[in-house]
Amino acid sequence: MAQKIRLLLLGSAFAADLHVDAYSRIREKVDIVGIASADSDQAHKLLEKYGFSGQEFYTDYHDAVENCACDVVDICLPNFLHHPATMAAIAAKRHVICEKPLATTVEAGREMVQAARKAGVRIYYAEDWMGSPALSKAREIIEQGAIGDLKFIRAREAHSGSHSPFVQKIATAGGGALIHLGAHPITFALAMNDNRWTELVAMTSGGSEGNLIHKGMEGEDWSAALIKFQSGMKAIVEANFITYGGMEDSIDFYGTEGCLHVDLTFSSPLHGFSIPGFEYTVEKAEITTGWARPVVDEKYNLGYVAELTLFINCLQKGIEAPLGLRGEDGLETLEVINFIYESARTGKKITNPNQGN
């Protein structure tokens, strides 16, 4: 059996819960040897929830990265901390698992990728859609030729908005719905096309008073972009914070001989009605009363388990992650997001300055 990977977790909130759930299912492969969080009580409760014990606890991630004996640092911190935490881990010669988005700016993301290359360590970009069983099956079906030649993808993630104070400010989030939610469909569409896009045109709500609903949020609460790829395939990607009723993750594929539709969040085999309300139905659902489809193993279906298991397997083998899950892919996503913002701001089509490279 391959040696267990020693993992240091940075963060103890929402994203950290998703990751610890995954690690709890592969205990034979990974040991969580430490956790760093400004909220010690939250950190202890998180590990206890999944039956982990014996970890080192830190309140400062710099202290943790420097002193915890680990193989990889898993960064589940707010967006604006992805860059400094990753740079600290790289300086300590640790591999990194980084939640999306890679950073809040292209410049920061590029510095992270370049530093990792120079130090001889890897950044594994945590994009859960790449691990989704339904989307993996969809890609398999498409590769088998069941819908002919793929010509168009329509993909979106949407819900009614995040309550995190970090998401409300551009300085700490990097933008609005596009960078927070749109990173998923953008990375996925790019991975389907070997990151080879040629042009895009976009529109957003603009942020603050320009927003459709969330006037107090600096970033946009609605965004959409049309992207053309070198193969000729096109994609429409959308992200918004104006969708009530729970998180919607929907992906549609259209080919020359058929189509394929994937619903990641509302395709539960359970369908029920409750007057007092279900304990939980789906992520971001405002109410749970009346008719609903309570999810079955939501974290598995969204792809977190397969994604993080893949990273641990790669670390055990000392290899890079596949296309869509590398630091370079996180950087490419950031660059596309930046161009989408530019297109929305200027009202002009953007041509990929790096096409053909």
Report pLDDT digits (tens) over 177-190.
Answer: 999 999 999 999 99
pTM score above 0.85: yes
Report pLDDT digits (tens) over 296-318.
Answer: 999 999 999 999 999 999 999 99
Determine the Cα–Cα distance for residues 110 and 135; give it in Å rounded to an integer: 28
Q: What is the mean pLDDT of the chain?
A: 97
Which residues, in sequence order, are bridge partners of residue 35? 9, 57
**132-298+334-351 matches 5-129+304-325 in CATH topology:** no
pLDDT above 90 as % of the chain: 98
Residue 357 scores a pLDDT above 60: no
Task: Specify whether the CB–CB gap between 241 and 217 falls below 8 A.
Answer: yes
Determine the Cα–Cα distance for residues 95 and 61; give it in Å rounded to an integer: 15
- For domain 5-129+304-325, the CATH superfamily is NAD(P)-binding Rossmann-like Domain (3.40.50.720)
Residue 1 scores a pLDDT above 60: no
132-298+334-351: CATH number: 3.30.360.10
What are the residue boundaries of the structural domains of the chain, listed by start?
Answer: 5-129+304-325, 132-298+334-351
Task: Specify whether the CB–CB gap between 235 and 336 falls below 8 A.
Answer: no
Q: Kindly report the CA angle at 130 between 125 and 134, in degrees rounded to 5?
A: 160
Report pLDDT digits (tens) over 14-26.
Answer: 999 999 999 999 9
Residue whose entry in the numeric block shows the structure tokens 């881990």: 89
Give how far the C-alpha of residue 134 lies from the chain's centroid of Cα atoms, to the nearest Å: 16
- In this prediction, residue 353 carries a pLDDT of 94
Task: Specify whether the CB–CB gap between 327 and 123 falls below 8 A.
Answer: yes
Residue whose entry in the numeric block shows the structure tokens 């420097």: 66
- Residue 213 Ramachandran class (φ > 0 left, ψ -120 to 50 alpha, else beta): alpha
